[in-house]
Amino acid sequence: MASTLKMGRFVNVIKLMQITRRMSTAPAFQLHNQAFVNGNWVDAKAQNTFAVKDPATDELITSIPDMDEHDAEEAIQVASEAFKSWKRTTAKERSKILRKWYDLIIANQDSLAEIMTRESGKPLKESIGEIMYSADYVELYSEEAKRIHGEVLQSPVKSKEMLLIRQPIGVIGMLTPWNFPMAMIARKAAAALASGCTIVIKPAEDTPLSALEFAALGKEAGIPDGVVNVVTSSRKNAASVGLKLCTSPLIAGISFTGSTAVGKILYKQCSGGIKRIGLELGGNAPFIVFESADVDKAVIAATASKFRNAGQTCVACNRLFVHESIQEEFTSKLKNAISGFVVGSGLNANTNIGPLINQAQLTKVSSLVDDALSKGATAHVGGSPHSLGKLFYQPTLLSNINPTMLIYSAEIFGPVATVMSFKSEEEVIEKANDTPSGLASYFFSNDIAQIWRVAKALDYGMVGINEGIISAAEAAFGGIKESGMGREGSKHGIDEYTYIKYLCFGNLD
C-alpha cells in the first residue's frame, strides 16, 4: 500500500512537471472571452469590456464583456424559457448529461488548471486539485439526480391516498467568488441542474475565465441552450447585476458564496420576492491544539488549512489556539514549516504560495499585520509584503496576539497565521465560539471523551477533528450564525433546488 501511494505521488509530480514544461513552450492557450447566453458566445449590449489580469505579473490575459442589468435580464428570460423544457427531462437524461460533463472536465483538466492559475494566481498543483474537486461535484450529482425521491404517506381515511413529490423550483441566480472560481460554481450548478433547474451565473470579476470554460464543456456535454448562462461584469456593474438577479420575479432562488457583508445585502434584496436563498459566507475558523494532540500532525494540518491558496479560503484556520504546555514546540515547528514555503508564480512547479488576488486584498492583509505588530505582536517569520511583486505577501507567523489587535477577530484571508495560548478546555471553547461566524472549525486531541465534548460544543457548521482539510463533495458544506444558511454538497445539496408538493387523491372508495 505504501509503495502504491508513493508511486501515485511520483506520477502526480511527473504530470505536474509535464504540464509546466508544456505551458512554458506552447503558444498562448485559447480562451473564451465572451459571455455565454442561450448557448451562444455574446458581447455586452453596450459593447463595454473589462480586463482580466494575471495577479502574479499584472499582465493582461484578455478582455471580456462588461455586462449590466439589461444583459442580465436577457439571460434570465432565456433561462426561464429553457426551464419549461428542462424541468420535464427525466432524471436519467439529466444524469447522463452530467456524467458526460464530468468526463469532459477530467479530460481537459490540464488546460483548465492553466487557465485557473493564470487568472487566480494559485499554484498549478492547487488548480489541478480544484479541477478534480469540481469534477467530484458533477459526478456526485450525476448520481444524485436519480435519487430525488418522493414519499407515499399513510392516509388517515380509506378514501384518500397521499403522496409527496419533489419538483425543481425554477431559475437560479448564482453569484460566485474568486478564490475557487470553478469549484464554487460546480457544487451549485451540478446540484441545480440535477434537480431540473436552469441557472444564470455571475462569476467574480477577478476570475471569470474558469466559469466560461466550465460552461463551454457543459455545452459540449449536451446541456441544452439556455439551461446554463454566464453573465460577466466588472466590479462597476456587479451590484446592478446582483440586484437584477435578486429582484427579478423570474428568479426562484439565489445561491451566493462570498463575504458576510455582501450576503446580508443580497438577503435583503431577495426579501421582496420571498426567494429561496442559500448563503455560504465568511468564516473565522478556530484551530485548537489540546495537550494530548500529536503536535507534528497538528502542524501539518494547520499548515495545509491556513496556507492553501495563500490563505484565501473561507475555511482556512484563522485563529490557532495552542495549549500553553505545547505552545513553544508547536510554534517552533510551524515556523520551520512556513520558512520552507516557496513564494512565486503559480506556474512554477515548486511554488507553494502565489500572489493575493488584488491590491485591496493585499492592503487588508498588510494593515492587519502592521496593526498587530504595532500593538506588541511577535513576527516569527514574515510580517511584510514580499519583494517578488506588488501582490505577493510573505508567509507570516505571529504570536503574542491580544484582543486589542484587529487581527484578533478579523477574517485574515491571507498567508498569515496567528498563535495564541490557552489553559483550559472551557476557556478555549469560549474563545473559539466568541464570534458571529460559524462556518468551519478544527481541533486536535487524542482524548476520546474530550473529542466528543468539544465537537458538540463548537458552534460551527463543520468540525475537523484531527484533520485540517475537510471539504468533499460527499459532505454537507455550510455554516451557522452569520456564516450563512443552507448546505452544498452531499444529498442535502439537492434540497436547495427542489420543493415538496403534496398530492392528495380523494374519493377512491
Active site residues: 280
Give the span between the Cα atoms of 249 and 272, in whole angstroms: 10
Give the span between the Cα atoms of 222 and 166, in whole angstroms: 24
Per-residue cell: 288: 485548537
- Which residues 6+ apart lie within 8 Å of 90 measured at CB? none
| Amino acid type, 327 | Q
Q: Name the nearest CA neighbour of 57 among 391, 384, 309, 366.
A: 391
| Amino acid type, 36 | F
Q: 445 phi and psi, to 5 degrees?
A: -160, 150
Task: Give me the half-sphere count of Cα atoms (radius 13 Å) on the Cβ side of residue 365.
Answer: 33
| Amino acid type, 174 | M
Give the span between the Cα atoms of 165 and 211, in whole angstroms: 32
Helix (H) or strand (E) holding 131: helix 124-144
Which residues, in sequence order, are bridge partners of residue 230?
Answer: 36, 201
Per-residue cell: 143: 448520481
Per-residue cell: 77: 428570460
Q: Name the nearest CA neighbour of 307 among 259, 339, 349, 281.
A: 339
C-beta of residue 35 within 8 angstroms of C-beta of residue 202: no
Cα 500 to Cα 92, 125, 142, 163, 503: the distances in Å are 20, 42, 21, 10, 10
C-beta of residue 504 within 8 angstroms of C-beta of residue 157: no
> In 3-state terms, what secondary structure has residue 300?
helix
Number of H helices, E strands in the chain: 14, 20
Give the span between the Cα atoms of 230 and 35, in whole angstroms: 6
| Amino acid type, 60 | L
